[in-house]
A and B are shown apart, each in its own frame.
Chain A
Amino acid sequence: MTEPGSIVEIEIPAGVPAAPPGSTEQRRSHGPWYLWVISLLIVCVIAVPVTSLALRLLDATDAAWQSLLSWQTVRLMVRTLVFTALVTASATAVGVSGAWLLARTDLRFRRAWGVAFALPLVIPSYVIALVLISASGPRGLVADITGVDLPHLVGFPGAWLALTLSTYPYVFLITAAALQRVDPALEEAARGLGASPARVFRTVVLPQLRPAMGAGALLAALYTLSDFGAVSLMRFDVFTRVIYAQYSGRIDRSPAIVLSIVLVAAALIVIWAEQRTRGDGTLFSRKPARPPSVYRLTPWQRAAGTTFLAATVAAGLVLPVAVLSAWLLRGLTSGIDVTIPFDAIAGSLTGASLAAIVAVAASVPIVVLAVRYPTGASNALERAVYVMFSLPHITVAIAVVAFTVRYARPVYQSLLVLVLVYAAMFLAQATGPAKASLLQIDPALDDASRGLGRSHLATMARITVPLMSKGLLAGGLLVFVTALKELPATLLLRPSGFTTLAVRIWSSADELLYTQAAASALVLIAVSVVPVYYLSIKPKDVVGV
């Protein structure tokens, strides 16, 4: 028995905190002011075309509104959406199949196939269309070589093929990256439970790929929706043709602007549809412990896979290069003057690389705000980037011309405006990879740097941006390659005296000067090969769009 005095008696206070502290999620501030200042500047640039369009709508003529409300408009709209859906479906099928074959099977020469399979990305869709038209038909190149009478590839089948070939590389690059991140443990678990490889693909792999496929399909759909060159050459009637017709066929520009609104609405429908089908899927920010397992193909599967890859590469890459080379050779042998379009090369490289630099620089504050300081405003900012990406180029260009000629005369027809428009239109391609790379950086690294006495800005410069560099490079290259191909906005917005390869190809072909068109197109392809090579061997850096 102890002494009474040594016993401690303690009163427990009433009203001990009842509720548990709950989530340990860290609330953060809204982010440093300068990120918001830069972001607001970006928003202003993005807002120009949108507000300008709205302003133009206010003083559109009655005739313009009437053109909108015709039965013809409805018919074309339906036709355009159905066409977009079909191209998106085929591009997704081709892109995902190729990605799976090249990322997850033991097919031989996968890296070389991967580069070849991604390369059609660099060929503008109207060049593919031009080449398909020229190569098909009883008098076409294919008939000449094989002796087989092919039908003319025009109208719906031609447009479908041309746009599928132009858009599947987007799906391919994004899906291939996602496939490399799929956790093999899940597949092994499914196999262990007795599922066949096909069932594993359908029930385990495919659902994990949904977000990446959705992102790729979205790019394909938006590209198709706003394409004009390929569909018009294929004489397949969709909405963009009417806008161009109204724009080029009259002095009054308001009918073209009113009709553009319909295309914007269609783009919003596509974005909405993608979000609906995406469901709850999220992109993988977790690194799986092991590289994905390799599926062994049976001999006939190997043959089928190789045939599929070969056919796609033949149509999307070999045929265009062959036809263009044939035109060039034919012209050169018959003594046609061909000039190396140095001014166009310089213009293309200047415009596209400045656009890439500006887009990458702009992507940093946007993704830092969206990832590190997720608030309603920062999410809205990120979404605004996608809305901009979805706008048809001709619409953006018309709006920007109208705005700059009235309210921004000093920069009217300047390279500055063209570069800003490129950057704004393709910003989504830069923010995608940038976001993916930022998601992989432990936020504690930022805190560590801040704790060591570096300001937020210094931390971004020394830690965040260097660690994002691969994603930023991938994003920059995507923007670069896309800006190289851009035509409608370039035609309308370029400074006087400024020309690009895409413009030269278009205008040469327009005048039936195929030799010169071929020379410019081959240069364009050559210029884009290095960036696409890098993107196709480093697909991981592209994911996350």
Chain B
Amino acid sequence: MDEALKKQLQVTACKVRMGIIEGVYNAKSGHPGGSLSIADTLTYLYFAKMNIYPDKPDLPDRDRLVLSKGHTAPALYSTLAQRGYFDVEELKSLRHVGALLQGHPCIHIPGVDMSSGSLGQGISAAAGMALSGKISSQPYKVYAILGDGEIEEGQVWEAAMFAAHYQLDNLVAIVDNNGLQIDGKISDVCSPYPITDKFKAFGWHVIEMDAHDFDSIEKAFNEAETVSQMPVAIIQKSVKGKGVSFMEDQVSWHGTAPNAEQYAAAMEELENTLKGLEG
């Protein structure tokens, strides 16, 4: 990847992370861990990959993204705010009564392509959108982001079968493999491994990616575009809580908001990261 672009994306991803912390802190609830693990991927997609129009969020030919792991809405909202879909200030009222930003993605929020959050459902809607694009020969791509715990849901595999059967090569499912779910390690709870082999067996083209390395991210999404007649699964190896050291790889940060002290520490760390990048 071009070094200037990489630097720019790193800066934006850091701001996205700050927005996640800001939102979850002000909501006094939410899911920081899995939001931080997808921040780089979302940043890449919305700032370097997707064909989107923040001033015209409903344009029919736009690329679409369904956050199937909808509990990590703070990451999507923060990315959309950075991209100009709505004011960054909105993040401060996340999950508040009467606020724009609901606890899980809602289709009525500018830039949100599908309501989601009940796990396993977003991938089906994404497959429907991809099928629709094929039917009408529209050029758009559909991205769906799933949790590695989420793929324990049976509906994911119904959708996987369907997408392969209808050769939806305009569909890219990203599985966020941070290895943790609410009750512990995914390998301990009810293991969905081997993830790569499962998607291959279902007739998908599978790519493995480092979720926190923009070179790897760019390479994976570029490869996805070369695939024809098969849907693409990108298994991204990620770190839950990435970017805030005391949250990294800690299952306890799956669905807990930071207190005032932790908020200050997280923001200070991210500000230092930002200074380092911009300095």
Q: Real complex partners, A and B? A: no
Interface residues of A (CB under 8 A from B): none
Interface residues of B (CB under 8 A from A): none
